[in-house]
A = this chain, B = another copy of it.
Amino acid sequence: MATVSEALSSAYNELMGRVREIVVFQSAVSVLHWDMETYMPPRGIVLRSQQLSLLSRIGHRMITSPEIGKLLQRIMEHPEYDRLDEVQRRNVYLVKKHYDEQTKLPEKLVAETAKQQAITTEIWKKAKAAKNYAVFKPELEKLVELRKEAAEILMEVKKTATPYDALIDIFEPKTTSEEIAKTFDELKKGLIAILEKCQTAPRQPDVTVLKRRVPIEVQRRISVSLAEFIGYDTKSSKAGGRIDETEHPFTTGYYDDVRITTHYYEDNPFSSIFSVLHEGGHALYEQNLNPEWIYQPVGTACSSGFHESQSRFVENIVGRSREFWTYYFPILNELTGNAFSNVQLDQLVHAVNCVRPSKIRVEADEVTYCLHIIIRFEIEQDLFAGKVAVAELPEVWNQKYAEYLGVKIENDSEGVMQDTHWASGLYGYFPSYALGNVYSGQILARLEKDLPDWKTQLAKGKFHHVKKWLTKNIYMYGNLYDPIDLLKKITGEGINVKHYLAYLDKKYSELYGY
């Protein structure tokens, strides 16, 4: 900043000071969300809704402060604006984008949405436990209406083609539903081809080995060892993370306080194993952002899709590889008191990569996973276009599951109520999961060029070099680029489903022998 005038640098610094406060404030709010999902006494929900509603109003006021508008104007209209460096200009761009979005949303709408999100999430838990969509429906309707209202406003600001596109842009900037539909179309074809080859292959996995009972206490120790393996510290006196238990696993936090959650099932220990690897992938991203950019807009992850690319990379490309299990299977056996001593490595690797159409997204295999996402994407598109009503969601959901995946949904807890996203107001988020898979295939192709022996190292229990590569090539870039530009920076090309499909085809042809 030595080369720009005092007026410009002081305006920029003042803006960054305000942003810093907003970031710190929001990190505090995220602790309240975490607590609500983990340890809050049930009766605390009413007070918590009020807290979140109030904090959301205060946060909104901070973000939409006219002072920020004035500073942005002073900076962007300054004749020396172009002499700010790339990082500074990106910070200004991101603040401006967020400011424009938020100043258009009425404070009342923001507060009501925050409150309704808390209520709907709580009702969702009860309705899911009771397998009763009717209990969930009225609160979900209110939340959808609030999000529709916001989407209409954001569409104007962002100049997107549809309200739904405006929501997608929150999670995957500059990505349109039209492009997504095109990408998903190609992806769907490729996946169905692989799925059919797997289904007709003579070599089929024995998944019964996955259902051995492992006490929850032991599973907790497995979680810690997995976290340690990928380099996410949850136990030492310098730990910057922790693992708790929630209905639906998630990651929250920032730099030195990044927390993941998992869900343990005594008769399905691999559920938590892959949840921990998945959330651990998210956690690595957050913990290894450029420390020089802490509290700045550039010091956040690139997009939800990029976040998912990292969680899916660690969960699947690493965690379901033969090389990972070559190393980790003996450790698992030791931790479980030889619960798997009569299981062969081949048997296990094939079992954790069993391809089989199923009802639950988070338990889906790599081949069918994106089909779950495509269903959600299509439903969200119709919901926000007014073509389907909240009351009809279970019916539409069940139809699509029958049609795309050939599975029959018995009740809404394993159907439309399986995920927390819609209950917590996250519409437009789901596409990022599938995009993340596509990115992860492209990232893998690049990684293999740079670190050709990474799998040999992995089989020896060494993940350090991969983590370092991901840090250097992805995490450290933070939010300096939009997702499509970061993708080009890393891989030299735009979005391309071929790499992900090629990765799957190679892997599954070896496993299934097709």
Contact = CB atoms under 8 A, between A and B. Distances in A.
Interface of A: 21, 24-25, 27-28, 31-32, 35, 39-44, 46-48, 50-51, 54-55, 58, 234, 236-242, 244, 253-259
A351 to B, nearest CB: 33
A43 B238 contact: yes
A256 B47 contact: yes
Contacts of A258: 41
B242 A43 contact: no
A21 B13 CA distance: 31
Contacts of A255: 47
Nearest to A287: B43
A42 B237 contact: yes
A47 B32 contact: no
A388 to B, nearest CB: 33
Given A25-B51, A47-B254, 8 more contacts: A25-B58, A27-B51, A31-B51, A41-B239, A42-B237, A42-B238, A44-B240, A47-B257
A43 B287 CA distance: 11
A9 B41 CA distance: 36
A47 B24 contact: yes
Contacts of A35: 31, 35
Nearest to A255: B47
Contacts of A236: 42
Contacts of A21: 54
B41 A27 contact: no
Contacts of A43: 238-240, 256-257
Given A31-B32, A48-B257, A257-B47, A242 B39 contact: yes
A257 B39 CA distance: 11
A476 to B, nearest CB: 19
A41 B234 CA distance: 7
Contacts of A54: 21, 24-25, 28
A260 to B, nearest CB: 11
A124 to B, nearest CB: 15
A32 B41 contact: no
A270 to B, nearest CB: 26
B24 A28 contact: no
A238 to B, nearest CB: 6
Contacts of A257: 40-41, 43-44, 47-48
A308 B118 CA distance: 34
23 contacts: A24-B47, A25-B55, A25-B58, A27-B47, A27-B51, A28-B32, A28-B54, A31-B31, A31-B32, A31-B51, A32-B32, A35-B35, A39-B39, A40-B257, A41-B258, A41-B259, A42-B236, A42-B238, A43-B240, A44-B253, A44-B256, A44-B257, A47-B256
A194 to B, nearest CB: 40
Nearest to A239: B41
A396 to B, nearest CB: 32
* Nearest 10 A/B pairs, CB to CB: A44-B257, A43-B240, A43-B256, A28-B51, A41-B239, A24-B50, A24-B54, A41-B240, A41-B242, A41-B257
A469 B255 CA distance: 50
Contacts of A55: 25, 28
Contacts of A40: 257
Nearest to A258: B41
A10 B50 CA distance: 22
A99 B261 CA distance: 42
Contacts of A241: 41
Nearest to A217: B217
A259 B24 CA distance: 25
Nearest to A257: B44
Contacts of A42: 236-240
Among A24, A40, A253, A259, the most chain B Cβ lie within 10 Å of the Cβ of A24
A46 B257 CA distance: 9
A46 B256 contact: yes
A255 B242 CA distance: 29
Nearest to A53: B24
A471 to B, nearest CB: 17
A283 to B, nearest CB: 11
Contacts of A31: 31-32, 35, 51
